[in-house]
């Protein structure tokens, strides 16, 4: 005879807003977090100082540069999940291998891929202030990007949509709402 069956633990939802510099990851992340009442993180805040300096100079990051940063992002997600705290974060996740490293062991993680043409993104980067990544980094990021077109847990959102429409699309497509841990 076996003991009582426990209901499987449902992990707290995680949404990763991804894309190259200038697509508006931080803006959409903040708007989603505000609408849902979820925890949020701008992945750029976890970059080591050496990465920030490289990007400030317009130098592309290598896989080796990104490895400790991605490890820090994974730890942050795992900490939220351990606390049953749903979260949304901005993280470029440019390569499929980066996205796989975020997915592994984290069921239900979803991605929102912000897309736009180079001219729009370049203009946005040239106009923004207070961020270390300027327009000089865009071409290397576009070259690094492995579009997630065949990945089932990714939806695409056009950067030219107003932020509130982006939020509406994400919530509708992913079926997101406020969340509480199962009892």
pLDDT tens-digit profile of 18-48? Answer: 998 878 899 999 999 999 999 999 998 999 9
What pLDDT is recorded for position 97? 96
- How many residues make up the chain in this entry? 183
- Residue 124 pLDDT grade (very low, low, confident, very high; cuts 50, 70, 90): low
The structure tokens listed for 163 are 């932020």
Residues near 15 by beta carbon (within 8 Å), at least 6 away in sequence? 32, 87, 88, 89, 109, 110, 111, 112, 170, 174, 176
What pLDDT is recorded for position 55? 77
Residue 12 and residue 86 in contact, taking contact as beta carbons nearer than 8 Å: yes
Of 29, 12, 37, 27, the C-alpha closest to 111 is 29
Is pLDDT above 70 for 179?
Answer: no
Is pLDDT above 70 for 126?
Answer: no
What would you measure as the largest C-alpha separation in the chain, in angstroms? 68
What pLDDT is recorded for position 181? 55
Q: Give the residue-averaged pLDDT of 118-129.
A: 70
Residue 110 and residue 148 in contact, taking contact as beta carbons nearer than 8 Å: no
Q: Please give the C-alpha separations between residue 52 and each of 45, 49, 155, 156, 182, in angstroms, as whole numbers.
A: 9, 5, 28, 27, 39
| Domains, the chain | 17-174 (3.40.50.300)
Is pLDDT above 90 for 52?
Answer: no
What pLDDT is recorded for position 134? 52
Q: Give the residue-averaged pLDDT of 106-135.
A: 75
pLDDT tens-digit profile of 154-177? Answer: 999 999 999 999 999 999 999 887
pLDDT tens-digit profile of 53-110? Answer: 887 777 888 899 989 999 999 999 999 999 999 999 999 999 999 999 999 999 989 9
Vertex 183 angle, CA 175 and 172, to 5° = 5
């Amino acid at each position: 005879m076996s003991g009582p069956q426990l209901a499987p633990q449902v992990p707290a939802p995680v949404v990763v807003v991804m894309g190259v510099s200038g697509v508006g990851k931080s803006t959409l992340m903040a708007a989603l977090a505000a609408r849902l009442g979820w925890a949020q993180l701008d992945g750029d805040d976890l970059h080591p100082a050496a990465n920030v300096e490289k990007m400030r100079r317009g130098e592309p990051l290598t896989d080796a540069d990104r490895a400790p940063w991605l490890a820090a992002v994974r730890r942050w997600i795992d900490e939220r999940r351990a606390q049953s705290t749903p979260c949304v974060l901005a993280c470029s996740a440019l390569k499929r291998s980066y996205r796989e490293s975020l997915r592994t062991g984290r069921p239900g993680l979803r991605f929102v891929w912000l897309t736009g043409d180079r001219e729009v993104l370049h203009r946005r980067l040239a106009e923004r202030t207070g961020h270390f990544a300027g327009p000089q980094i865009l071409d290397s990021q576009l070259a690094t990007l492995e579009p997630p077109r065949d990945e089932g847990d990714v939806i695409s959102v056009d950067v030219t949509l107003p932020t509130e429409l982006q939020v509406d699309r994400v919530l509708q497509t992913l079926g997101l709402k406020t969340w509480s841990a199962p009892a």
